[in-house]
Structure 1
Amino acid sequence: MLRNKDRSSNKGNLAVTAVALQDHLLHDLQLGHLSVADPCKIKARKKEKKSKSLKRDATAIIDTGLRKSTEGPNMEDPEKEYVLDPTPPPLTLAQKLGLLPPPPLPLSSDEWERVKQRSLLQGDSIQPCPICKEEFELHPQVLLSCSHVFHRACLQAFEKFTNKKTCPLCRKNQYQTRVIHDGARLFRVKCATRIQAYWRGYIVRKWYRNLRKIIPPSDAKLRRKFFEEKAAHHEIYECSICLTPLSFHGDGRQAAIGTSSQRPRETVLLSCAHLFHNACLLALEEFSLGDNAPFHVCPLCRSCYQKKIVEC
């Protein structure tokens, strides 16, 4: 009789243990306690809780006719970090019987701070999301208690696909999840740095273009081209010595005046970008030969010059 009782008790214990383990596996495989569960269900639960609390706290309001100061809506901080699963899942039968360890307690703020510091040292927010291999940018981002970082949508899709709560990188079970904004903050800094770099490049290029218009280059060919363009922009049509049209600019003007039958005189370009008739400048140089020999100065700007004959 005693042996039969022992056998029946052992069979009963084995049956309870098997049922407890099966219950634990079922609870472990279901999606009810995932950190990023369906937001529609979470909102529905919150609305139910709100309606119940409003019914309990409902009080009569007397209208006194006095105007109340209209306060603006309470704007929540968009970069506020919060935990998605603050309460641990209920104990299963196997955990109550001591067959399996209970789930870990929720992490405190100091523990979350240490987890975040470890994630920052690893540079997880700088690197792409390990699931979709894309930058975090401004998309919602989550930090796990194992210090790994993912897109919130990517982690939600991974949990639904695997049907269990396991970290995609380290395979840690029953992790805790916290919403962070480090990736968005780093992305804003990156965008601001890029905008400032483009603006500085535009300012430097503009300054360099203006500088090239003022300072002549050292190369002989570029220097000649620089002075020719400078003279063309000045729109000089007359020789400042004889006050007659220049042949370089005055093809149409001479025809209008009636001097097209005459042979056009040579035009000379000075290094100071002034234009004269070559004969007029030679006469002026001969006239002032005794004063500034062997150097000559421009009749207009009084600077020493080099000259070049401009082809008509």
Structure 2
Amino acid sequence: MNGKVRLGEFLQTRRSQLQPEDLGIPGYGERRRVPGLRREELAALAGVSVSYYTRLEQGQSLNASPQVLDAIARALRLEEAERLHLHDLARSSATGSGRSRRPAPERVTEATGQLLEALAHVPAIVSGRRSDVLAWNRLGHALFAGHLDPDAPDRPAERPNMARLVFLDAHTRDLYADWPAKARAVVGNLRLVAGRHPDDPALHALVGELRAKSSDFASMWADHRVTACAVATYQMRHPLVGPLTVTQQTLSQGRAPGRDQGQNIVVATTEADSPARTTLALLAQLTPQRNPARPGIRACAD
């Protein structure tokens, strides 16, 4: 799917999700053939001509200015992550798709490995931009994927992928008491990454696989919601130690020199003196050390 189509689908979907009465637009009791705002209503809210907005939505108008895109974002009531996503889509639409190259395997940098080692007492995983698990510490493996081979991140062709696990793995689905909330966060983050990297064939192959294998993913993907996963609290039902509530924080490594995208470290923390803290300590006691020389680190080396 090219950039023009992605931009048009995003605008059409988000326009259909807005109700005129929510924006103070009188409906006069009329029934609408399609849900949401009409193009002329959105154009008026954004302060652009109907013909211009129509061309933009149909992929016939390129090089929309940042000011126009921001005006449309305000009219659509987009949040900040969604506004940036709109800019990414417009940029992709204007420049067109470049040549798709087979992506090189992502690697954990030495600095990131050191940080993961320092986080030995909290569950932590290092994920790539496509949500592949590049490394995890002992507790990260035990909490998120204790049913998988702890050495799997060491082998690029066999790395677990958190998006696949959330949608296609029964163990991971049962792990979250509110699975739909976790699933929506995963889809929203993939949407954000896809907008930033429109020419990543491995990313688009992952999305295609999930759409084909999971009706839940296909439905959520069609919603065009965008989410920047930063901090979220989840109730988990761990099969070994029982229920616990954790706060998952994504620490972005940013854009590393010489790389398209830095890595993310996802850590799971618990409130001090809480039952969840006690449960996590029990999980640590029940999880054996695998590498005495470097406790709890399973870092990859391509």
Structure 2 length normalisation: TM-score? 0.16
Greater RCO between the two (CA within 8 Å, min separation 6)? Answer: 2
User: Radius of gyration: which is bigger?
Assistant: 1
